[in-house]
Structure 1
């Protein structure tokens, strides 16, 4: 009994340490340095470095077939992606830490306005860890894009609970009561997260076919890999709760994802490029299964979407010329600004 009691005490102490670490990380921090994370292993004097050195002769990549790092026509499609990367960065950083790019890496915002309504979410320990990592990854994504092709100012982004409630009301075709709030618990936050990274996958798959520079392609491949990973984690965590109802609604997690995916297909106006966590058998992998952990086509390949399709969804208007929803004044970059109707181009 003594050993059993000691084990219970040790487990309780460990969980307390983990909870404290989350509180410590939740404090505001700047680009000068992040708070110490007590769950990180201590590095001894003989521990190997985890940083990769690509400068050695055995580590250099194969020479490119076309020795041009970035073609001029590569710039606009990749800069367009910053609209989504900014959105993800702000949503995940605020959800985990209660602060955004203006506190973490203010230089990356390039003078763009602060987001509307973003705030810290009430997350359990596992979800907090996932979202905290995603937020910090998005900082790297924004930096990598700006370093490679230059940046655009962060657009005005609406991450308010009211905006997410509008999305869910539109997905279900009626007003949820009470209104959906992504910040009240982990399940709601993951359902809200389901709306965003997947669109980044669509955008990068589509952009890959129209860029040619070797640095451009390497960047897009790297971004696509992590965005796909983020989406897979989000879908995987939601899949574990597939049949659970989301309080206080009598609606399952599966139905939420199905409705959001159907809404994105409807707004995108280019057929089925989005699937929830359950599908008819004919849409499942090899037409043999109805569960759908990953969204993909008949050959299990990711769906592409054009910038116009993405804007129709993100504006929630079904029209790439009329802004709204996540980008009340429109997305930024040449592609997005040229698609706006004339009255909005001056904003």
Structure 2
């Protein structure tokens, strides 16, 4: 009788032992992040989902402060995860109509942060430089000379729209680039949803600017269309990934079906959205043209495994050569 009980206990334990061995194997080599009992996200998907947090933080702060005069620390402090407050950001002088649109964008970005962090662990808000001088540097680089007076993104509707043109579109191309690399259905659904709203925001920004395409940006002797063209050219140059950016007015050959100059939405020869890699994005938002050289909007660099891997390469190189 005792032998029979012992055999039954051993038989009952076998499934549990097999499960423990499987979990040990997965934790040691396969590197999955468990979202629920139904799905596990591969580590590569986690990295690709976390990387966009860098731009979502930037957009959330820029839009929220621009429209409402406060950012995440006032409206959703838990989303910052203790990260440092942004440098130089402030409320913009916006018309009621523009303020309403930008406020909507702000709260949408809060939702994007929540959606990503609901799916993957995330990381604290990185240090962001959203000062007027940071945007002025971008514009100076775009035109190849200092603008006089320095460009102020917070001065009025047009300036703020042009500043909004600078970064959000870059994040959009990042989602397009990440999508084919994702493996899990959870990650694909999330990126598709984020891309849909980010594309909508970009369309609104471009449409509002397109309406003013031939308007001179006071006090400069350049039109809105010229600003967008210069900014897009700079992003192509910094990204080093070829033509992945277009202004509001293009040569007819570059327009939809090669037949029109108006370019309210940017796209390739098939009017399909351009894509960018994380490295291309880092080169642009750092303003350095190098994914391992922080600066621009990210004085201490972006966060997440992908961005940190490039910074770690620099640190390791420096250690080896000291």
Give TM-score, length-normalised by structure 2.
Answer: 0.85
Matched, 1:191 2:162: yes
User: For the residues of structure 2 that align with 1:73 and 1:241, how far apart are their CA atoms?
Assistant: 42
User: For the residues of structure 2 that align with 1:191 and 1:143, how far apart are their CA atoms?
Assistant: 27
Match of 1:203 among 147, 157, 174: 174
What residue number does 1:58 align with? none
Q: Which runs of 5+ in 2 are unaligned?
A: 1-37
User: For the residues of structure 1 that align with 2:85 and 2:317, how far apart are their CA atoms?
Assistant: 19
What does 1:67-106 correspond to in 2, within 5 Å? Answer: 68=39, 70-106=41-77
Partner of 1:70: helix, strand, or coil?
strand
| Displacement of 1:174 | 0.4
User: For the residues of structure 1 that align with 2:97 and 2:40, how far apart are their CA atoms?
Assistant: 40
What residue number does 1:249 align with? 220
What CA RMSD, in Å, does the superposition of the two structures yield over aligned residues? 1.5
What residue number does 1:180 align with? 151
| Displacement of 1:70 | 2.4
Count of paired positions: 280
What does 1:1-347 correspond to in 2, within 5 Å? Answer: 68=39, 70-340=41-311, 341-342=314-315
Partner of 1:121: helix, strand, or coil?
coil
| Displacement of 1:146 | 0.4
Any idea what the Cα deviations from partners look like across 1:80-135, whole Å, max 9, x if unmatched?
00000000000000001110001111111111100000000000111111100000
Displacement over 4 Å in runs of 4+: 343-346
User: For the residues of structure 2 that align with 1:187 and 1:130, how far apart are their CA atoms?
Assistant: 13
Q: Which runs of 5+ in 1 are unaligned?
A: 1-66
User: For the residues of structure 2 that align with 1:104 and 1:278, how far apart are their CA atoms?
Assistant: 38
Any idea what the Cα deviations from partners look like across 1:125-163, whole Å, max 9, x if unmatched?
111111000000000000100011121111000000000
User: For the residues of structure 2 that align with 1:345 and 1:281, how far apart are their CA atoms?
Assistant: 48
